[in-house]
Chain A
Amino acid sequence: MSGLAGKSVGELLALYRKGRASPAEAVADCIDAIDSRDMAVGAFLEVFRDEAMSRAEELENEDPESLPLYGIPVAVKDNICTRGLPTTCASRMLSGYRPPYDATAVERLSAAGAVLVGKTNMDEFAMGSSSEHSAFRRVINPWNEECAPGGSSGGSAAAVSAGMVPAALGSDTGGSIRQPSSFCGVTGLKGTYGRISRYGLVAFASSFDQIGPIASDAEGCALLMQALSGPDGKDSTAISEDCPDLLCALDGGLSGITFGVPEELGGWDLDRAASSALDEACRAVSAFGEAPERVALPGMETSIACYYVIANAEASSNLARFDGVRYGLRESSDSLYSLYASTRTEGFGEEVKRRILLGTYVLSAGYYEAYYGKAQSVRKMIRKAYRDVFSRIDLLMLPTTPGPAFRLGERLDDPVSMYLSDIFTTPANIAGLPAISIPAGLSAEGLPIGIQLVAGAGREDLLLRGARGLEKIFRFRERFVPGGGEA
């Protein structure tokens, strides 16, 4: 059966359970799709053809009903450790590096029956919003080869969007799952901070980072999230309670959910596609109950500054370990300090260096209070503002990004405009809240645009219920396919 790679997770599971497809067929189909399309797309850094096929064949002996992700081919972002398999973070620094252990998320994927088919391209060390900062190859947007897929999980979003895998793992520090999902017309979920263990996720900014699923629909995200979440003794910041039952919540419908729309959106220059998608969503929601409440979210404009100060501070420390002493790249040198300097000069790309320098600066003696200290106070204020908002409403609704995918190279020389593409996504990371991007429609140029929902801490159930409800209204997957306009 061909076209299995383009099925949703739920569709594939149904086919297996009816005996109409097998994991080996699906994996073979994914590998075919990758082989024929990825030369152009650039979503993958590594494809595990043999390992994936033999794992799929092993699964033929298992009962499809016994495992929640039975035989689901999954691609994993290359900053998530896979034992004995390359994990480079798309950096020269880790070229050829094979970790001796699996990330908890990877262990849980395997335990749930998923099949790891490859590692996906990304912005180096997850720093970027276009995936153009990969040290190895660029990724294009499957909807338009001249456009960026977004980032940093651009490879994962493009792989799902181009029908090479039904689902992929990404990581989201300031929007790195939701923004590329919006650009590529797929669904991307970031859970509450601590929902999925970070053990084995190569850290960018520890207090923001979350692993999360990217799939073609909300159900796929729910299935993966359910399997990946849960307490982990190896991550002290993981939530100690289990995730609510997302599959039950999924079809709860829109009625009874109270929505809010940030007042501050009015001050933003939204792309017409983004504002009409938001309008459509508001109308649809109103049809099921009350019209979305306009809620004040003070501090939205400061969130980007707050985010970049704290995230870069943490990054400067997290990336200190890449020094050429123990693993990864080592430049030859005649002294310890020249070893450090030459390895880090050669091993890191420009964006990574920029962030390490910024982060080092904001933590320096004499500047700490003015930058890091102040950003922490702002973070507290933003958290409180969101707590207040979610005491009144269930879900916040806003565009995932101010506009659709920008052109490759367009923002490469202007880091601040690149950073601003995260304006609507970073607050959820700052406040540690669950958020999802679902595809809503196409822009005038035929590029997807996503709507984002944000829920209160721990309320992934409400989030997915809302997402599924809107999905039924937008009917994006039924209406559009990449490169082909109307489906």
Chain B
Amino acid sequence: MAESAGFIPVIGLEVHAQLLTRTKMFCRCPAVFGAEPNTMVCPVCLGLPGALPSVNRKAVSMAVRLGLALGCRIEGESVFARKNYFYPDAPRNYQISMYDRPLCSGGGLRFEDGEEEVSVGLERIHLEDDAGKLLHGRSGHSLIDFNRCGTPLVEIVTLPEIDSPRRASLFLQNLRHVLSYLGICDGNLEEGSMRVDVNISMRRRDDKALGTRTEIKNLNSFKAVEAGLEMEIDRQRKVLRSGGSVVQVTNLWDAGEKRLVTMRRKEQAHDYRYFPEPDLPTLVVDAAWIEDERAKIPELPLERARRFRREYGLSAYDARVLTAESDIADYFEKTAGMTGEPKMTANWVMRDVLREIKTYGGDTGSFPVGPEELSGLIGLIKDGVISTSAGTEVFTGMLGSGEGALEAVRRLGLERISEKDEIEAIVERVLGSCPDEVERYRGGKRQLIKFFVGQVMKESAGKADPKVATELLRRRLDS
């Protein structure tokens, strides 16, 4: 096989995640999205002459929590550093980041790829502040909105050990779930609250040495990550197979055209002249602080999925889907607890709830069918009051009205008919209107029983209990 003799990709990721703190990283300005431009600013985040940063301890707490959740070593002492570069969205023309002494080192993220559990190691996690936003006008000049400037970010850097675009995307999706479980980032790639840069090189299958790496920035969706990586792997492979060598380059993902655009080459690479930030003392995180944060870590998605499989007998896939978002997992657990029917509950949540809750921004709090209501509905189906198919109609009714399951069933007139007299009358009508089929059934075509049951269901608008109907039909036809 050609592949076995060829090159395999080596991928590393750098993820920037905006922390959900109330205020910014180094000042007290509100860290909010969508305010009027340049209204959430002060001398500190505008980098005015003389202004000084002071560290938001909540942001440190969140980063420590993330580090602990990912098994990192939390450094007792870490050092903020200045990353110097000129750009109009950075008002000091340096970013306050961390360099040779980051807050967290090592660790990794474990996640499931199908039935396989995999792990991607981390190099580091550090804190830094975000830049402002440039708005390029048509008239040729640009405007700057500094509201985002100073928003706390964690940068999560993986080891270069991911071997496929699909796995890179899976890593990111699972990381997003962990961030959301910890309540420290909403992980929205499209809105930029989570941003991904990738680096990629190729190595020979039989050789550990990595080739020259290239970078892709601006990947604004999981699909873009996969597509951009596929394209770059393809390109590097072609270069190497034709005997050429890969040149160090930084590419931008063009989301509109779905292609890679070269941003800068090696000779244009920045010298950031990092040095320790003299305006901030060494960041000291003591054991008590670390233990406080450890205590705040909830059961994480991977562990929760395992428990769902064990406790509720769910498949690996179902458990993974249900535990991706902690709100949904909570919703499922509450509902399943009330119904005592975890599998049936899982089906309802995965099919109906997950489909409809998108309209509510995935927020279980504002979703009209709460665990109580859904468990009511499942109970009615389990008790045979309504059919499964009527259940879907009831669910839709409940969504629109916000009423309980029983009220919706009554309003919609969907209670199952199980009274023998009533069904008997329908059976009589059906048999009377289909003399040919009755004759053929009696002539030995027994499978026609399904046709008759179908007719009864149709005649009863789906409300007849099919078991009772079958029994009555057999009794009449076989006698």
Contacts and interface: CB of A to CB of B under 8 A. Distances in A.
Interface of A: 79-81, 87, 89, 94, 97, 99-101, 103, 198-203, 205-207, 233-237, 313-314, 316-317, 320-323, 325-327, 336, 340, 360, 363-365, 368, 372
B169 to A, nearest CB: 34
B277 to A, nearest CB: 8
Given A101-B43, A317-B84, A323 B52 contact: no
Contacts of B92: 320-321
Nearest to A360: B273
Contacts of A365: 271, 273
Q: What are the 10 closest A-B residue pairs judged by CB atoms, nearest first?
A: A320-B93, A206-B278, A363-B273, A207-B278, A202-B49, A200-B50, A81-B50, A365-B271, A202-B50, A321-B92
Interface string B278-295: 111100000000000000
Interface in B192-217: none
B50 A320 contact: no
B47 interface: yes
Given A100-B48, A236-B280, A364-B271, A320 B84 contact: yes
A99 B48 CA distance: 8
Nearest to B48: A99
B43 to A, nearest CB: 5
Interface string B34-63: 000000000100111111111100000000
A94 B52 CA distance: 19
B43 A317 contact: no
A318 to B, nearest CB: 8
A296 to B, nearest CB: 29
B82 interface: yes
Nearest to A103: B50
Interface of A is mostly: loop
B54 A317 contact: no
A327 B88 contact: no
- Scoring B50, B51, B88, B280 by chain A CB atoms within 10 A of each residue's CB, the highest score goes to B50
Contacts of B48: 99-101, 327
A320 B86 contact: yes
A320 B275 CA distance: 14
Contacts of B53: 236
A340 B88 CA distance: 10
B275 A372 contact: yes
B168 to A, nearest CB: 29
Nearest to B270: A365
B9 interface: no
Contacts of B275: 313-314, 317, 363, 368, 372
A321 B50 CA distance: 11
Contact of B91 (A199, A314, A326): A326
B94 interface: yes
Nearest to A197: B52
Nearest to A87: B49
A207 B277 CA distance: 9
B79 to A, nearest CB: 12
- Scoring B51, B52, B94 by chain A CB atoms within 10 A of each residue's CB, the highest score goes to B52
Contacts of A236: 52-55, 279-281
A100 B84 CA distance: 25
A235 B394 CA distance: 62
24 contacts: A81-B50, A87-B50, A99-B48, A101-B51, A199-B52, A200-B51, A206-B278, A207-B278, A236-B53, A236-B55, A236-B279, A237-B280, A313-B275, A314-B278, A316-B84, A317-B273, A317-B275, A320-B93, A320-B94, A321-B91, A321-B92, A325-B88, A327-B48, A365-B271
Interface string B116-136: 000000000000000000000
Contact of A94 (B49, B51, B144): B49
Contacts of B46: 326
Contacts of A79: 50
A340 B50 contact: no
Contacts of A97: 49
A108 to B, nearest CB: 15
A207 to B, nearest CB: 4
A327 B50 CA distance: 13
Contacts of A323: 86, 93
A233 B93 CA distance: 24
Nearest to A376: B276
B69 to A, nearest CB: 28
A72 to B, nearest CB: 23
A233 B54 contact: yes
Contacts of A314: 275, 278
A99 B54 CA distance: 20
A321 B52 contact: no
B147 to A, nearest CB: 15
A372 B273 CA distance: 11
A317 B50 contact: no
Contact of A321 (B47, B144, B278, B280): B47
